Amino acid sequence: MRQYELVERVTSYDPQADEDLLNRAYVFAMKAHGDQKRASGEPYFSHPLEVAEILTTFKLDDASIAAGLLHDVVEDTDISQEEINQKFGDDVGSLVNGLTKISKLDLFTREAEQAENLRKLLLAISRDVRVLLIKLADRLHNMRTIDFVKPEKRVRISQETLDIYAGLAGRMGLQTIRDELEDIAFRILDPTAFETLTEQLKTLREENGNVIAKIEASLVKKLKKNRIKGHVFGREKRAYSVWSKMNQKQLSLGQLSDIYAFRIIVAKPIDCYKVLGVAHQSWRVVPGKFKDYISNPKQNGYQSIHTTVIGPQHNRIELQIRTEEMDRIAERGVAAHGFYKDIKDKESAEAGVAIPTATSNAYRWLRRLVDDLSAADNPREVLEHTRLELFQDQVFCFTPKGDLIALPRGANAIDFAYSVHTDIGNSCVGCRVNGRHAPLMRALENGDEVDIITSSAQTPPAAWADAAVTGKARSAIRRATKLAVRDQYAGLGREILDHCVERANSRYTQAELELATKRLGYDNVKDSLASLGRGEIKSVDFLAIMDIEPSETAAKPFISPEDEIEQGKLEIRGASPNLPLTISRDTGAVPGERIVGIYTMGQGVTVYPVYARKLQEYEEQPERWIDLAWYSDTSTRMYPARINIVLHNEIGALADVTRVIGKNGANIENLSMETRARDFYNLDIIVEVNGIKHLTKVLHQLSASTFVSSATRCQG
């Protein structure tokens, strides 16, 4: 395409276009790329020129066409970004800069980098959606010429196109670009399947004869008979679309019902429903194959009526009924109205700019997706959320007030609640669907009215994250669960701190606690107390930061082998007064239970309960065994015992364990938590008691808790 032809194309749909800008961009890009060649051997300038031509089919503004011509100049030549800004202005410069940054992103790096690059991509296009339109035109021309690329790179680019760019094109309503990108990527990624399916479609076409023309003629005749003005276009569905449906429904090509689709274009929305009535009166309707996207548009602004009927010659045919305006949006999406820039609704209203509803809905989807991604906690969530948003079909449900909520197909009431508001989701305890109580996990259907039942005392269970379908719900549940667990540990940390401060005959103020939190490097008090509860900070260190002198017992929260405890401090008899006694940290030992000692040269005697597994290691060394006994079954001081608790993974479970232990006069000196399964946790606790009866009572009370599966004494 020559220079004057490009300018004429743009001015044909935009008479106010800046011809000088287009001419300068054309000449500048041609000179900048000079003698550069593409992999095909063609002059490199043919690529940006083809990109500009694709953009003219979407009737983009002059700045977008200029940016399409210049999009590779900064990256592939010696021209700087500053020079582009100076010669072509900030608008064109900003677009070129956004495209240059995107071209440097590798969406097939390892997971963490891939997620971050995907976030940057979406952020760039959310600032100015024209960046996406130019990038899609760039990718489309690259895919059209991909056969000249090396095989390994060809596969990588095709997979990236299918995973990211085709989905983005679809979500922004650019269906023609999506279809072509998917078909080319399909041909590269699975050439055998592509060739086989193409041949089967060709055979089917030959067997059915001129079936499309015959059905078109029949539809036109029906419209004329009912005095409805309209146009009918028939087409065979594209290879990738057919392949996806075959995979999704596990059907052969012969079992697929709607290979043929017919588009009926009428003047007004009311005519769409008239055509629907004619079609349903003329032919038998296929149950469950009716969708009204006019009253409930898709998030990308798509509007149409879809229905499948048993048409002439007993062929199943899909009818898509829409107005010319709806058809333009269906084909060109966000490009249909020339709404490109990031203009807020309020600012636009004040400036007198009318934002088409369909286009703004598609753009709002993109901005909302970026906002949701910013709340994701890790790379896996970013990728998971984006793929869910890009590729799932939708169902449309309603709140009791009649507000429309669009959700991915397969979503449930949990997803619905979080779509309404995060607080609604976090406090959800049940739901009514169409006036009846229903399970939260049940998949919602089109038209369902969902009433969420909430409670201020509710916190979402961790298992909900696996049940939810939307990325927004999953992220919010994981965040709420993490905060709830943090709060439980913070409560435990507060108990440990209060206990140690009480032992030290001291006290503290909230201001002193906040100051200590800052000194420890934490953002807030709950985080510092949670670290104390998890055992990441020792209580002794916490007290030291608060300038509180710990008591002797506070300084030694449990009796460990590393602490050289004098025999006089333990109420145990049977060992030499000259040998230091320590209690095994693997099991602990409490008054009232049978104990033995194991002598170690240079370390003294370690005390074990007689059932400790560790004692098996010393069966062949009887000379090291020392028979020990407690002076009494109970004591005025506290001794450590190690216990294991299998705890249900529910909010409030850890708090209940600490409540039971505290209520029974025992004290937690150390606690660690390990995941055992999705629904259970293993708690390893060193608890202080005054004797075996006291310990037995604590274990009995713990076992009675509804949150506890089992509570047993550790045998080391």
Residues catalogued as catalytic: 75-76
Write the CA distances from 291 to 64, 98, 184, 276, 287, integer angstroms. Answer: 35, 38, 29, 11, 11
* CA distance between the termini of the chain: 81
Per-residue HEC secondary structure of 132-177 comes to: HHHHHHHHHHHHHCHHHCCHHHHHHHHHHHHHHHHHHHHHCCCHHH
Distance between CA atoms of 271 and 273, rounded to whole angstroms? 5
Q: Which stretch of DSSP H or E encloses residue 607?
A: strand 604-609
Q: At what angle do helices 46-57 and 3-13 cross, to 10 degrees?
A: 20
Q: Which stretch of DSSP H or E encloses residue 548?
A: none
**Measured on CA atoms in the order 385, 386, 387, 389, is the torsion positive or negative?**
positive
Q: Which stretch of DSSP H or E encloses residue 260?
A: strand 260-266
SS3 520: coil
For the CA atoms of the chain, what is the radius of gyration?
Answer: 35
Which residues 6+ apart lie within 8 Å of 86 measured at CB?
Answer: none
Cβ neighbours of 440 (radius 10 Å):
20
**Measured on CA atoms in the order 635, 636, 641, 645, is the torsion positive or negative?**
positive
Dihedral pair phi/psi, residue 217, rounded to 5°: -60, -40
Length of the chain, in residues: 716
Long-range Cβ pairs for the range 245-254 (8 Å, 24+): 253/197, 253/200, 253/201, 253/204
**Measured on CA atoms in the order 226, 231, 236, 238, is the torsion positive or negative?**
negative
List the one residue out of 84, 103, 107, 104 whose CA is nearest residue 94: 84
Distance between CA atoms of 166 and 182, rounded to whole angstroms? 6
In terms of Cβ atoms closer than 10 Å to its own Cβ (0-12, 13-18, 19+), residue 214 is middle
DSSP secondary structure letter of residue 128: B
Using CA atoms of 375, 379, 385, 388 in order, give the dihedral in degrees to the nearest 10.
Answer: 180
